[in-house]
Amino acid sequence: MATVAKAVPQPVVPRMAPREDLNPFRISQIQFDIAAEYLKLEPGLRQVLRTPKRVLEVSIPTKMDNGQLKVFTGFRVQHNIARGPAKGGIRYHPGVTLDEVKALASWMTWKTATVNIPYGGGKGGVICDPKRMSKGELERMTRRYTSEILPIIGPERDIPAPDVYTDAQTMAWIMDTYSMTVGYSSLGVVTGKPVSLGGSQGRNEATARGCLFATEEACKVKRIPLRGASVAIQGFGNAGSIAARLFAEKRAKIVAISDSRGGVYNPRGIDPLRAIRYKERSGTVVGMPGASRISNDDLLTLKCDILIPAALENVITLHNADQIKAKIVAEAANGTTTPHADEVLYRRGVFVLPDILANAGGVTVSYFEWAQDLQGYFWEENEVNTRLEKVMKRAFYDVYETMRKYHTHSRAAAYILAVGRVAEATLVRGLFP
């Protein structure tokens, strides 16, 4: 396990960060290794659990609106299926790499195990810039990508869902392409679908709502009243914008929000609904009236009670971990904090709700959606939210007790819990052949 130098007082001028490996897949393996060490797993079992089971790379020829053909590269990775079908989102982003998708797939394995739902972990990604593509281009690319990964997906094999820059419409295209190919309507092949197409009530808000439920428990443990607590949110997509709304409904004060273009800050509070409307019109929260400008970097180190990173990986690193002033960090996005930064935050008493717990509400309601699809029987939103709350609370206290038992930080505890569950399933199944 890597160790870090003692936290130093906040420097006046930004110092050069020591070299830190930011490759997400290697980071995911370090996180796994820490838990494997605590659990004293056999070396052979470690090898099985730290590498993906299946990796598929596909070429996606797509007709663009100008008549030209463009070939995109996409991936689908199934990290582990010991406890059930692979499960995880599909990401459209110019920065997608195979190592990122491998890391995201493994985080799904540990996430589904942390909240104890009967899935393994998978993830998909396409290297593209969806902001510069028309709806028609996105639809054609999505349908061809679906057709290329079709041999390995399915309600019993691997169930995709939305992730960064994909949404319910993307899932509808995937469901349709899959269904037309197999010859019948398969609702359970993807989750996060529109409610009119076998989607679940509450799925769209589920990541943010799950994050709220976990944060409420963390606030109890840390004795911080959520009412009146100051909250800074980095990232204003599905998770970040809905978290802003739900936390504000609990009377927390949203002091800063940001997106890829920058952020805005108002110590007296920002109205999330106004911010959402402003972003719908201008494509960014930057420039919204009644708040001053703040950079993404400054938002992360703002003095606040709760920091919610809800964008991409590697935002809390050795570079800024000793300057984080929040008391609770709730990771609505995946892979936001590096292992070195974890050590610094732990030593400084910051309570981290790790991604595999904090944002597991999304996949939990995906599980509810899949269960409803397979049964052909749909639940009311109240029932979805009540069941989600139960799952998130139980997972929070499972992690919290593991933390106390092993005297370690919350991410290590969540991994000990999750890796332990997957290891147990693997051992009891035995090795084939």
Residue tagged active-site, from 87, 111, 123, 327: 123
Regarding 215 and contact with ligand GLU (CB under 6 A), the answer is no
Regarding 161 and contact with ligand GLU (CB under 6 A), the answer is yes
Give the chain's end-to-end CA distance (angstroms, integer). 34
Choose among 38, 28, 3: nearest CA to 18.
3
Regarding 363 and contact with ligand GLU (CB under 6 A), the answer is yes
- Please report, for residues 106, 142, 174, 398, the alpha-carbon distance to residue 63 in angstroms, rounded to integers and kept in the order given: 33, 12, 18, 49
Q: Could you tell me which stretch among 70-78, 133-141, 241-249, 361-369 binds ligand GLU (CB under 6 A)?
A: 361-369
Q: Could you tell me which stretch among 46-54, 84-92, 223-231, 261-269 binds ligand GLU (CB under 6 A)?
A: 84-92
Rounded to the nearest whole angstrom, what is the least distance from the CB of residue 29 to ligand GLU in the complex?
18
Rounded to the nearest whole angstrom, what is the least distance from the CB of residue 255 to ligand GLU in the complex?
26
Q: At what angle do helices 24-39 and 410-429 cross, to 10 degrees?
A: 70
Among 200, 359, 372, 410, binds ligand GLU (CB under 6 A): 359
Regarding 362 and contact with ligand GLU (CB under 6 A), the answer is yes
Chain position whose Cβ is nearest to ligand GLU: 89
Rounded to the nearest whole angstrom, what is the least distance from the CB of residue 183 to ligand GLU in the complex?
25
Among 24, 52, 85, 88, binds ligand GLU (CB under 6 A): 88
Regarding 28 and contact with ligand GLU (CB under 6 A), the answer is no
Phi first, then psi, for residue 121 (nearest 5°) are -135, 135
Regarding 87 and contact with ligand GLU (CB under 6 A), the answer is yes
What lies within 8 Å, CB to CB, of 257 at 6+ separation is: 232, 233, 236, 240, 241, 244, 263, 264, 270, 272, 275, 285
Phi first, then psi, for residue 94 (nearest 5°) are -65, -25
Among 186, 334, 385, 410, binds ligand GLU (CB under 6 A): 334
Q: Which two tokens stand for residue 142?
A: 């999505």
Q: Specify the length of the chain in residues.
A: 433
Regarding 177 and contact with ligand GLU (CB under 6 A), the answer is no
Among 170, 191, 201, 402, binds ligand GLU (CB under 6 A): 191
One symbol per residue from 286 to 325: x for binding ligand GLU (CB under 6 A), - otherwise; what is it? ----------------------------------------
CA-derived radius of gyration, the chain: 21
Regarding 332 and contact with ligand GLU (CB under 6 A), the answer is no
Asked if 109 and 30 count as a contact pair (C-beta separation under 8 A), the reply is no
DSSP assignment, residue 379? -
Q: Which is nearer to ligand GLU, 199 or 263 (CB)?
A: 199
Dist. CA 322–CA 364, nearest whole Å: 33
Q: Residue 226 carries which side chain, given as an amino acid letter?
A: L
What lies within 8 Å, CB to CB, of 191 at 6+ separation is: 159, 160, 161, 171, 199, 200, 203, 365, 366, 367, 369, 370, 373
Regarding 163 and contact with ligand GLU (CB under 6 A), the answer is yes
Regarding 366 and contact with ligand GLU (CB under 6 A), the answer is yes
Give yes or no: 87 in active site. Answer: no
Regarding 81 and contact with ligand GLU (CB under 6 A), the answer is no
Catalytic residue numbers?
Answer: 123
Binding residues for ligand GLU, rule: CB under 6 A, are: 87-89, 161, 163, 191, 334, 359, 362-363, 366
